[in-house]
Amino acid sequence: KNEVEQSPQNLTAQEGEFITINCSYSVGISALHWLQQHPGGGIVSLFMLSSGKKKHGRLIATINIQEKHSSLHITASHPRDSAVYICAGRGSGGGADGLTFGKGTHLIIQP
Amino acid sequence: DGGITQSPKYLFRKEGQNVTLSCEQNLNHDAMYWYRQDPGQGLRLIYYSQIVNDFQKGDIAEGYSVSREKKESFPLTVTSAQKNPTAFYLCASNTGTYNEQFFGPGTRLTVL
């Protein structure tokens, strides 16, 4: 069983809609990453957070350590937001041995 | 511009051949990582290195080898022992264990 679970696996929405992607993890982590992967394959780090909430432009990430749950929100979604969004946990020891990844959420925003 | 470069972007090899994937970073990061991505699966850790001349196996190291002779470089060799090498390979680095990880553009390897 994967230690990091994302939902939904696939999401199609209309431009302008508010988007929420969820991530649950079953192991202790020191930080959680949200990543964006475009069709070409390259990955961009969106957020790294260990508590509370972070905001960057139209993107908001929250984490609840007690509930082992994080969410990524996109406000006023746009077709250019179409990508795979991946959450990844950094181990409680600092994650020196790398990240544990969810399988990703494939988001399509239709104009 | 600082960043991570991987080459080539697409790579084809015949079954039974070894192939080396390049990863170079000019971010002065100590730690480097190799991940493999397969359709429908999350990225999985192959090898990582915290410091020059030292590296550790990840979750799926069988059939792979690495070296870390220079801080900037962490090449990955996919050997003929790797049973299912066709995949997308990503290299990453970070400056310390608690810091953000940066990713390269990836190499898509296809074994014919």
pLDDT at A42 over 90: no
Nearest to B42 among A31, A95, A104 (CB): A104
Judge: A99–B45 Cβ closer than 8 Å, yes or no: yes
pLDDT for A20: 98
Judge: B50–A96 Cβ closer than 8 Å, yes or no: yes
Cα-trace Rg, chain A: 13
pLDDT for A27: 76
pLDDT for A15: 98
Which residues of chain B make contact with A98, given a CB cutoff of 8 A? 33, 35, 45, 48, 58
pLDDT for A96: 62
Residue B21 CA to residue A109 CA, distance in Å, equals: 34
Q: In which band, very low, low, confident or very high, does the pLDDT at A2 lie, cut at 50, 70 and 90? A: low
Decide if A29 touches B, using CB distance below 8 A.
no
C-alpha B43: how far from its chain's center? 11
Q: Where are the beta strands (DSSP E) in chain B?
A: 4-7, 10-13, 19-25, 31-37, 44-51, 54-57, 64-66, 76-78, 87-94, 102-103, 107-111
Judge: B48–A98 Cβ closer than 8 Å, yes or no: yes
Give the tens place of pLDDT for each residue, B27-53: 999 999 999 999 888 899 999 999 999
User: In chain A, what percentage of residues exceed pLDDT 70?
Assistant: 93
pLDDT at A6 over 70: yes
Nearest to A43 among B44, B50, B90 (CB): B90
Instruction: Take residue B68 and report the two structure tokens written for it.
Output: 């870390």
Give the tens place of pLDDT for each residue, B55-104: 999 999 999 999 999 999 999 999 988 889 999 999 999 887 667 889 99
Q: What is the count of residue pairs from A and B with beta carbons less than 8 Å apart? A: 64
Tell me the average pLDDT of chain A: 91
Average pLDDT over residues A21-43: 89
Closest CA to B70 of B90, B93, B44: B93
pLDDT for A97: 67
3-class secondary structure, B81? coil
Residues 2-21 of A with CB under 8 A from B: 2, 4
Decide if A24 touches B, using CB distance below 8 A.
no
Q: In which band, very low, low, confident or very high, does the pLDDT at A3 lie, cut at 50, 70 and 90? A: confident
pLDDT for B71: 96
DSSP-derived letter for residue A24 is E
User: In chain A, what percentage of residues exceed pLDDT 90?
Assistant: 74
Which residues of chain A make contact with B100, given a CB cutoff of 8 A? 33, 45, 48
Closest CA to A104 of A34, A12, A42, A32: A34
Give the tens place of pLDDT for each residue, A73-106: 999 999 999 999 999 998 765 556 678 899 999 9
Tell me the average pLDDT of chain B: 92
Cα–Cα distances in Å, from B85 out to A42, A74, B19? 19, 35, 10
pLDDT for B100: 81
What does B51-63 look like in DSSP terms, one character per residue?
A: ETTEEEE-TT-TT
